[in-house]
Amino acid sequence: MDISVLHNSILFKGFDDTEISELLKALNATEKKYNKGEMIFSSGEITDKLCFVTAGSVTVESNDMWGNRTILNLVGKGQFFAESYALLPDVPMLVDVCAAEDCSIVFLSMKSLANLNDTISSRLLANLLTITTRKNLHLSSRSFHTAPRQVRGRIMAYLNTISVQKHSREFDIPFDRQQLADYLNVERSVLSNELSKMQKDGLIRCRKNHFEIITVTYLPG
């Protein structure tokens, strides 16, 4: 297990390597590797595990019984998932978590928090609050991305957010075309067609996951 990756994470902010090693032991940390496309959690499962991505990435998805897929989040190296379910172990998961690429996940048992002293536990929970707050902000952002009625409005809402986060009009996004379509809740063919139109209209340039915003205009939703 790569301690350096954990040391740079939000959860262990303020802890030294010795304390992190002790925490990993106290929280019964285990690491497991997954192949691309492999399911990590399925909807309906119950878990007490806080999950940390040490390599690769995973998608948090909503998959209904009719085969419709919506990507809610892409979780990359150094990020966490399932934190809310880990703290509410009697609540079934409403999402699936799938390996977006070959990845490694560290599982931390939150039921073992009771084994920590009050000082360590308080510091850890404070860091966990930061993680959940950031996750809530991300989910709020997605509601803005999917709110416009027109596909173009959804694309530009998403690209605008990434541009602001990157402080640049030229950037890479974390999704491939299918993942972006699933995230914006549109058909891939419709997404590709609209991206082509936007390039012809001089709004953007794009190649694979690299985008450049050329013109900023008012786009009715």
d(CA 99, CA 34): 7
Q: How far is CA 67 from CA 31, 61, 70, 147, 169, in A?
A: 31, 12, 10, 22, 35
Q: What is the mean pLDDT of residues 23-44?
A: 95
Q: Binning pLDDT at 50, 70 and 90, where does residue 71 land? A: very high
Instruction: Report d(CA 155, CA 165) in Å as an integer.
Output: 16
**The pLDDT of residue 114:** 76
Question: What pLDDT is stored for residue 195 in this prediction?
Answer: 97
Confidence of residue 216 (pLDDT cuts 50, 70, 90): low
Residue 160 has pLDDT above 70, yes or no: yes
Average pLDDT estimate for 135-163: 90
pLDDT of residue 219: 47
Q: What is the mean pLDDT of residues 176-186?
A: 94
Pairwise CA distance, residues 94 & 82, whole Å: 11
Tokens of 183: 């995230």
Query: Which tokens go with 200?
Result: 């012809």
What CA–CA distance (Å, rounded) separates 153 from 166? 20
pTM: 0.77
Per-residue pLDDT band for 69 (boundaries 50, 70, 90) equals confident
CA 16 to chain centre: 26
Percent of the chain whose pLDDT exceeds 70:
95
| Digit-coded pLDDT (tens) for 97-139 | 999 999 999 999 998 887 788 888 899 989 999 988 888 887 7
Reported as a pLDDT band with limits 50, 70 and 90, residue 36 is: very high
Q: pLDDT at position 221, please?
A: 46
